[in-house]
Chains A and B, each alone.
Chain A
Amino acid sequence: MTRALTLGQAALDRLMPMHLCLAENGVIHFAGPTMQKLVPPGAQVVEDIFVEAKGTETGCVMTQIRAADPARRLSLRLRHHRQMVLRGHVVAPGFGGLLLNFGFGVSLSDAVATFGLTENDFAPTELALELMFLQEANRAIQGELARFNRHLMLARQDAEREAHTDPLTGILNRRGLLAAMRGALDSRSGQGFALVHLDLDNFKPVNDRLGHGAGDRLLFDVARVLGRAVRAHDHVARIGGDEFVLILGGSWTCQALTAIGTRIIRGIEEISPEGCGISASLGIVLSAGYGPDDTDRMLHDADVALYRSKRAGKGRVSIAPLPLGCTPRPLPGPQ
């Protein structure tokens, strides 16, 4: 037994506010209240409302509707809002003509915004409001999470900077120096550099005679002298009590290094507290022949050169000999 049902228009409107009833030739008979908001004024036939969703437009939407498999989804694009694809299905109710019903699918929020739809435009069975609720909840949560991530990222950057900084002088600490050396020794960075190990001469008496506050102030001033002696892309670090290390990028001649070393020594002697005779001993090593894993060896070699300066009477510069098997570079001046 087949069951038949006659529905008045009011019932049809309430059950399916997005329905569209067409004659066989595509002329619009009537439309549900929500569908009416989508139908452009003066529309006579279904082609005034829709174009095909996919492929080239043949202008023959009706052919597609007639050919649609009743068991499958029918997708049509709004003629005047091409970004919106409605999905629905079509049945032949038996009185001649075709009855179509549509939903917005993923175009929902777009459609709600464009046509100013309200809760009453949807049948209670539809999940439209729940979908919009979810979408907004998601967006709000994502916004908050993005804020959290930014916050964490900034905090991490701060922590990293702090971990690489000597709190007394604001220049790099040992950890920061090692990171900078690894970067500079990476063959991809291409350029060589000179590593300068510097130890203050006669520093201990400053602490003993004038107190640790004066000692700290002197270390701070030395860091400023060093900062002024180098270029913006060089590095300055304090790696222990009164030990400093500089990374000077580029190719260097012994003369140029001796000149800059001597300038640094003069600068430090100038800030010596009255009667303390502060000066500095320097040991310099060139990066040629060292790889990214050789930071310790390189620092050790610079240290050896530094002690040559100390033994030779302090207040001077020693440059380590180039490692074996490494031809000396031509000697251009510092860049």
Chain B
Amino acid sequence: MHDLVNRAIEKFLQEESVPGVEAGLLPPALMLQAAADQLGKPPDELIEDLGAWLVRQDEIWRLLRFCGSDFLDFLLRLDELPERIRLITDDVEVPEIALSRSADGLVWVTISDGSPVWTALLSGLLRAMADDYGTLCVITRSADGIAIDVSDAAFAEARTFRLSARAVPA
């Protein structure tokens, strides 16, 4: 599974056309750090891009869409994500994800160990998923976690998702 994670990051960096990062030779964290240095971008921004890039990979996109019928459903079941990943593999360590609602109606996503990498990755992923579901929202990342303000759940048409990858449209 680590090979798959490495390969995903390699492919992402290739598509972001970061040249000269010796893919496969460095552990993922160093690969991303080196790429961020080269692009002159803060590493957490690059990791956010990686989260959004993951959503654009068709197979991963389908798996994510299985996790919620609309964006709010997806968001409010985000705490299932670590358990879902453990369904597929148990050699990737995923921190727990907690959800809460603040008095002003924002949904807060917090990562159990406060990991800035996971926080950045998830906020990129959430941003891309909100887009995918056609939901308008404001996603803010801070040291305390990710705050999501859903302003219009039906802002645009959601990308069509069918349960069966081989279903023919009726």
Contact = CB atoms under 8 A, between A and B. Distances in A.
Contact of B162 (A116, A133, A137, A138): A116
A133 B89 CA distance: 13
A140 B1 CA distance: 12
Contacts of B168: 113, 116
Contacts of A116: 162, 164, 167-170
Contact of A119 (B63, B84, B89, B163): B163
A133 B167 contact: no
Given A113-B166, A116-B167, A144 B62 contact: no
B60 to A, nearest CB: 8
Given A112-B167, A113-B164, A141-B4, A136 B87 contact: no
B164 A109 contact: yes
Nearest to A147: B7
Interface residues of A, number: 20
Identify which of B4, B63, B163, B166 gathers the most chain A CB atoms within 10 Å of its CB: B163
B66 A113 contact: no
A132 interface: yes
B152 interface: no
For chain B, what secondary structure do more than half of its interface residues adopt (helix, strand, loop), or is it mixed? loop
Contact of A136 (B4, B66, B167): B66
Given A119-B69, A133-B84, A134-B87, A112 B163 contact: yes
A117 B67 CA distance: 16
Contact of A132 (B3, B69, B84, B163): B163
B22 interface: no
Contacts of A119: 69, 163
Contacts of A143: 59
A321 to B, nearest CB: 57
15 contacts: A112-B164, A112-B167, A113-B168, A117-B164, A118-B163, A132-B66, A132-B163, A132-B164, A136-B59, A137-B88, A140-B60, A140-B63, A141-B89, A144-B4, A148-B3
- 8 A-B pairs with least C-beta separation: A113-B164, A133-B66, A140-B59, A112-B164, A137-B88, A113-B167, A112-B163, A113-B166
Interface of B: 1, 3-4, 7, 59-60, 62-63, 66-67, 69, 84, 87-89, 162-170
